[in-house]
Structure 1
Amino acid sequence: MSAPQGAARWISAFLEAQAAESGAARNTQLAYGRDLNDFAGWLARNGGGFEAASREDVERYLVFCDDQGLSRATRARRLSSIRQLYRFAFEEGWRTDNPAIRITGPGRERRLPKTLSIAEVEALLDAAGRSARSPADRLRNTCLMQLLYATGMRVSELVTLPVAAARGDPRMLLVRGKGDKERLVPLSPPARAALAVWLGERDACEEAARAAGKAASRFLFPSGGKAGHLTRQGFHALIKEFAVAAGVSPARVTPHRLRHAFATHLLAGGADLRAIQTLLGHADISTTVIYTHVLEDRLRDLVLEHHPLAKPGR
C-alpha cells in the first residue's frame, strides 16, 4: 500500500487506527496528535518529512526537545508516539523500517506522588458542601468530591459518568477508563448518600428542563456546554474554590492529587496493593507500586514488628 501524501494524512490515518484497533481514548489520541504534529513541524523546518526521516533525524529531534527544556517524561512520550507511528507505517507498508525502534529514550522520572492528609481531604469535603451559591450546586459539589475520594476515579471518568450507572442505589459503580476498559469500584456509605441526594435534585432539574423543551442529558453531572457534561477544566476550577474555602493551599489541590490520596490512605489502612491496582484501573502494577514509597515509615515498622529476625535480642 502506498503511503499517503503529507504529514496530516499520516497522523490522521494513524489516529483512526489507534481508535479502531486499540480503543485509544480521545485524550490519548489528542496527546499523540500534538506530539506527532510537533515532530512533523520540526521535520518540515529541516527539509524532511515522515516518509524519509532517518534514525539520526529522530535523535536530532529529541536533542532539540531537550534543548527546549522539555521534561524527561515529555521527551519519552514523544519518542513513544513517533515509535508507534512508524510501527503502524511499517505494518501498512508505507515504510520498510522503523527509524525509532532502536533509540533508547530518556526514561521517565519516578517522582513520588504528592498527596493530601486525611484531615485536608475532610476539610475539602466539608468545603464542597458550602462553596456554591445555589443548593443544587452544593449538592452536586458534595457528590463530586465524595465520589472522587471514595473511588479514586480519574477526573475524566468522573465527569463523564452516565446517569444510568447511578440508578438503583448502587453499592458499586461501573467505570469506563483508559482504553475503554471497564472496572467496578465500590461506594462508601457517605458517597452513596451524597449520590442519592444529588440524583434526586438532578432529576428534578432535568424534569423542569424537559418541560421547557430542552433535551434530557445522559450524564450524571450535566452541563449546558458543548460536551453536555461538567468538563475536566470546570471541575479543576471548582476544586480550587474548595481549597480556598477549606484553608488548604490551592496549589496543593488537584483532582489527581485526590486520586493519590485515595490510594495512599487505602494502603496506609492495610489494603492490598493488587486491590488498589484494580480500583485505580492501572494496567501494570509497577504504576501502583510507587505508592509504597510514601509509606516507608509504616513499612519499616511492619517489618520490625512481624519479621522473626527483627525481634529484640535476635
Structure 2
Amino acid sequence: RQWWLAYTIDRERVQKAIGPYKAIAELAKKDIEVQMAKQRAGLALVDRKLSEYIPQFLSHIRLHTKPSTAKRYVQVIGHLSDFLDALEDPPSKLSRISPPIIEQYKFHRIELVKPQTVNYELTCLHRFFRYACEMNYIKENPIQSIKKISKPKRKAPRFLAKEEITNLLRCCGTKHYLEETVKLLLNTGMRWGELRALEWNDIDWNEKVLHIRIKEDWNPKGGERKVPINKSVEEILRMLLKEKRNRWILTTSTGSQIRHSRTWERFRQACQKAGIENVTLHSLRHTFASHLVMAGVDLASVSKLLGHKDISTTMIYSHLSQDHLRSAVERLEF
C-alpha cells in the first residue's frame, strides 16, 4: 500500500508519494501544514519562478548600479538562463538551482571565456542569489560553496622600447590623427576609453591638467582624476584646437566621436609597417608607466597617474624599478 499527500500551494496542485507507512505519512502531512501556516503568516520561503524573479532582480540592479554595470548583469543572467534551458531537466524555480548546477555552469563557461570572466560572472551570480535570500525566496545561496578559478600568475606587461616608439611614430602617417593619438596615450598613460571621451572643457589650460570625469553616457574605469599635461601634449592639443569640429578632442573627419575599431586597425597597420609585434593600444599605457618607473618615479606616483584604485595593480611594474636600482648601485666604486 502506498500513502500519498495531495495539497495546493502557490495555486499549484502537488502530489507526493510518501511510502507504505501511515505514521510517516501523517508526520509528512503535519510538516506540510506547518509550512502552509508559515506561508500564510508571511514567515515561510516563497519559492519564486525564475521567469518572475529575473525581471525583479534586474529592476533592482538597474536602480542600484550604474547603467554599464546593469548591462553586464543582463548579459551574465542571460548566460545562466541559456545554460539552464539547455539542461535535460531545466529548473523552473530558484530553489531547484543547486551548487552542483552552478559548478556545471562554471565548467561550461570556462570552455568559452577567460577565467577572470568566469570569476566575474560568479560574483554577479552571488549577488543574484543573495538578493533572493534577502527576499526570503531561498534559504541558502548556492554560490556560497563554489570556488572561483585560480588566476594564473600575471606576466610582465609588454611595453615599447624607445627605438620602437620612434619607428612607430614614423609609420603612423599624417592622416586620421593617428600620430597624435599615439603621442597622447604615450605621454598621459590614459586608457583608450578615457582619451576617446575627452572633451575640450576637460582641459584646464592654466593648471595644465586634463580632467578625467564622469559623463552622461560614460564612467571612467578608475574613477575621476587629473592627468598632468607635459609640453608635448600641450602642443598637440593646441594644434587640434585650431581644427576643432565638435566637443570631443579627437573626432573623425566628419566631426563624430572616434571609434576603437578604426583606430585599432590603423594602429595595427602602423605597427606591422614598423615591424612591432604583440602590442595593442593598451600597450601604450604600459609603455608610459614602464618608462616612468625606469626613470626612477616611485610606484605610488605612477599608480596615481594611472588611476589605479589599488597600488597592488601597479606592482606589475615593480621588477623594472628593482632592475634600475641595481644598475644605479653598480655604478658606485668605493
The match for 1:259 is 285
Report the Cα distance in structure 1 between the residues aligned to 2:285 and 2:233, rounded to whole angstroms: 15
After superposition, the Cα gap between the structure-2 partners of 1:295 and 1:195, relative to the gap in structure 1 and judged at 3 Å, is: same
After superposition, the Cα gap between the structure-2 partners of 1:224 and 1:191, relative to the gap in structure 1 and judged at 3 Å, is: closer
Q: Is the 8 A contact 2:294 2:320 kept in 1?
A: no
Q: Secondary structure at the match of 1:173?
A: strand
Q: Is the 8 A contact 1:76 1:107 kept in 2?
A: no
After superposition, the Cα gap between the structure-2 partners of 1:263 and 1:44, relative to the gap in structure 1 and judged at 3 Å, is: same
CA-to-aligned-CA distance 1:68-101 (integer Å, 9 cap, x gap): 2643223222222222333344445554432213
The match for 1:119 is 163
After superposition, the Cα gap between the structure-2 partners of 1:289 and 1:88, relative to the gap in structure 1 and judged at 3 Å, is: farther
Map 1:105-254 onto structure 2 (within 5 A): 105-112=148-155, 113-128=157-172, 130-132=173-175, 137=176, 140-166=177-203, 168=205, 171-176=208-213, 178=220, 181-202=223-244, 206=245, 217-223=246-252, 228-245=256-273, 247-249=274-276, 251-254=277-280
Q: Is the 8 A contact 1:147 1:187 kept in 2?
A: no
Report the Cα distance in structure 1 between the residues aligned to 2:326 and 2:221, rounded to whole angstroms: 37
Q: Secondary structure at the match of 1:73?
A: helix
The match for 1:12 is 58
Distance apart, 1:160 and its partner CA:
1.1
Report the Cα distance in structure 1 between the residues aligned to 2:299 and 2:152, rounded to whole angstroms: 21
TM-score by length of 1: 0.75
The answer to which structure has the higher strand fraction is 2
Report the Cα distance in structure 2 between the residues aligned to 1:8 and 1:173, rounded to whole angstroms: 41
1:99 aligns with 2:142: yes
Report the Cα distance in structure 1 between the residues aligned to 2:285 and 2:278, rounded to whole angstroms: 13
After superposition, the Cα gap between the structure-2 partners of 1:49 and 1:155, relative to the gap in structure 1 and judged at 3 Å, is: farther
Distance apart, 1:278 and its partner CA:
1.2
Distance apart, 1:237 and its partner CA:
1.7
Q: Secondary structure at the match of 2:271?
A: helix
Report the Cα distance in structure 2 between the residues aligned to 1:180 and 1:263, rounded to whole angstroms: 15
2:79 to 23, 32, 38: 38
The match for 1:212 is none
Report the Cα distance in structure 2 between the residues aligned to 1:50 and 1:142, rounded to whole angstroms: 56
Q: Partner letter of residue 220 of structure 1?
A: I
Report the Cα distance in structure 1 between the residues aligned to 2:143 and 2:114, rounded to whole angstroms: 19
Q: Secondary structure at the match of 1:5?
A: helix
Report the Cα distance in structure 2 between the residues aligned to 1:198 and 1:286, rounded to whole angstroms: 36
Aligned pairs, how many?
279
Give me the CA root mean square deviation.
3.3
Distance apart, 1:157 and its partner CA:
1.0
Report the Cα distance in structure 1 between the residues aligned to 2:325 and 2:137, rounded to whole angstroms: 52
Report the Cα distance in structure 2 between the residues aligned to 1:37 and 1:17, rounded to whole angstroms: 19
The match for 1:56 is 100
After superposition, the Cα gap between the structure-2 partners of 1:150 and 1:59, relative to the gap in structure 1 and judged at 3 Å, is: same
Distance apart, 1:108 and its partner CA:
2.1
Distance apart, 1:295 and its partner CA:
5.3
Name stretches of at least 5 consecutive residues in structure 2 with no aligned partner.
1-41, 214-218
Distance apart, 1:173 and its partner CA:
0.4
Q: Partner letter of residue 116 of structure 1?
A: L
Report the Cα distance in structure 1 between the residues aligned to 2:78 and 2:84, rounded to whole angstroms: 10
Higher relative contact order at CA 8 Å, sep ≥6: structure 1 or structure 2? Answer: 1
Q: Secondary structure at the match of 1:222?
A: coil
Q: Partner letter of residue 219 of structure 1?
A: W
The match for 2:19 is none
1:283 to 309, 315, 327: 309
Report the Cα distance in structure 1 between the residues aligned to 2:316 and 2:222, rounded to whole angstroms: 24
Report the Cα distance in structure 1 between the residues aligned to 2:152 and 2:139, rounded to whole angstroms: 33
Report the Cα distance in structure 2 between the residues aligned to 1:117 and 1:29, rounded to whole angstroms: 40
Report the Cα distance in structure 1 between the residues aligned to 2:59 and 2:132, rounded to whole angstroms: 10
Q: Partner letter of residue 87 of structure 1?
A: R
CA-to-aligned-CA distance 1:267-310 (integer Å, 9 cap, x gap): 1111111111111111111111112235553354467779xxxx
Q: Secondary structure at the match of 1:99?
A: coil
Q: Secondary structure at the match of 2:144?
A: coil
Q: Secondary structure at the match of 1:147?
A: helix
Distance apart, 1:199 and its partner CA:
1.4
Distance apart, 1:159 and its partner CA:
0.6
Distance apart, 1:65 and its partner CA:
2.6
